[in-house]
Amino acid sequence: MTALDSFSLAWRTVRSNKLRTGITVAIIAFGIMALIGIITAIEAMNQSARESFATMGANAFSIRFKETKVRVGGGGRNSDFKKTTRGLKEKKSNLGKPILKEEAEAFKASFHFLSAQTSIYRRGPGAQELHYEEKKTNPQINIWGGDENYLLVNGYSISAGRNINHLDIESGRNVCLLGSNPASKLFGEHPESSIDKIVRVGSIPYRVVGVLKSKGSSAMMRQDDVLITSYTNVRHFQNTQPSYFLGVMVGNVNAMDAATGEATAVFRGIRKLEPRDEENFVIEKSDRVAEMLMGFLSSITGSAGAIGLITLIGAAIGLMNIMLVAVNERTKEVGLIKAIGGKSRNVRQQFLFESMIISLLGALFGIILGVLIGNLFSMLLKTGFVVPWAWVILGIVICSLVGLVAGIYPAMKAARLNPIVALRYE
């Protein structure tokens, strides 16, 4: 009796017990489906995040103010200062101090690092509706105020019209740049026709002077759902952030460290910080935010792996139990195989093959379902079809091990049966 004969007999046995096989396959499939489905969704999120942050460039950084830290307890004699981990002191008068318009403009005028471009911008209200005549957008438009360098530093480009200029900034007049999504929503297939038209944000009218090219908005970062005006105009909105932002794009990515160092020195002087005071502002590189998001998604991946592993452990216990029941039910069959010349090795192979066939069938259905369910999420994020091949291969390996481990003891038990006792078993 060859290994092929044992495999053929195991396959016929699996096919003949459809209900038992189906239940066991479903248990394993749900475990793999949960694992592969979550991993596929996370891969889609990773792809969406990479596409979103790719447009920001690795040679840019931003400066924002440091939020107030809450301190519990008395301060004692030196309560005007807080000791930091670097040995510097953080002055209470500097805590939570937003970046003012004058400070932002002073930095832009003072920072002259090689060919770096500096932008001043400010976050306006989010989740706004834009109106043009009888048409309106969904309430998901973000309002930003910037300057003539805002588009360059943040990876936007003009598809029609012009950029914001110095006169717009100095006068604070109601002009705007429309993102590609609201322009398409309000003006259909010809978004360029929006130039010189009046759109309204609430009751405030804005003349459109430019339309932006699409950056490929994802569900994670809706970069095309924007209206950009000047930073001197956006302050007229309620719910506008009190602090200004500074964006800097360096010509050479290798000069990033030198540029951030010089920017720190210049802005410390503008913020009137003493040498022993810690910075009350934060410099963030564009790739730093991406790294934080990727790290968060990696932790979710670990949690998903743990969930799938727990489910598969339960499936392995169930599979072993079913195989033990199969040994008891087929005791006479085992005795017959041994009586006609079959060896213990052949019996052991048959039960191991049977266990692994069931486990791998569960893996196959679980992987297919997991990839399909995970890609429903990728459709929401508007990314391409995602197949986490490394995890697919890992899932097959894990299910093979599950089938092997779950089948070893029942197979050994069947192989040890005495043929005479087995034939007499009732």
Tens-digit pLDDT profile for residues 240-271: 888 999 999 888 777 888 999 999 999 999 99
The predicted pLDDT at position 182 comes to 93
Q: Tell me the per-residue pLDDT of 352-388, one tens digit each, with 9 for 90 and over.
A: 888 889 889 988 998 999 888 888 877 776 677 888 8
The predicted pLDDT at position 74 comes to 41
Q: Tell me the C-alpha distance between 339 and 342, whole Å.
A: 7
pLDDT above 50: residue 81: no
The predicted pLDDT at position 290 comes to 58
Residue scoring higher pLDDT (92 or 248): 248
The predicted pLDDT at position 423 comes to 63
What is the average pLDDT value for the chain, to the nearest integer?
81
The predicted pLDDT at position 346 comes to 78
The predicted pLDDT at position 16 comes to 85
The predicted pLDDT at position 77 comes to 39
Please state, as a whole number, how many other Cβ atoms lie within 10 Å of the Cβ of residue 89.
Answer: 17
pLDDT above 70: residue 94: no
End-to-end alpha-carbon separation of the chain, Å?
Answer: 26
Least confident of 207-216, 262-271, 279-288: 279-288
pLDDT band at 56 (very low <50, low <70, confident <90, very high): low
pLDDT above 70: residue 73: no
The predicted pLDDT at position 291 comes to 63
The predicted pLDDT at position 21 comes to 84
What proportion of the chain, given as a percentage, has pLDDT over 70?
A: 83
pLDDT band at 51 (very low <50, low <70, confident <90, very high): low
The predicted pLDDT at position 75 comes to 44
pLDDT above 50: residue 91: yes
The predicted pLDDT at position 161 comes to 94
Q: What is the mean pLDDT of residues 185-198?
A: 91
Are 260 and 283 in contact, with CB atoms under 8 Å apart?
yes
pLDDT above 80: residue 233: yes
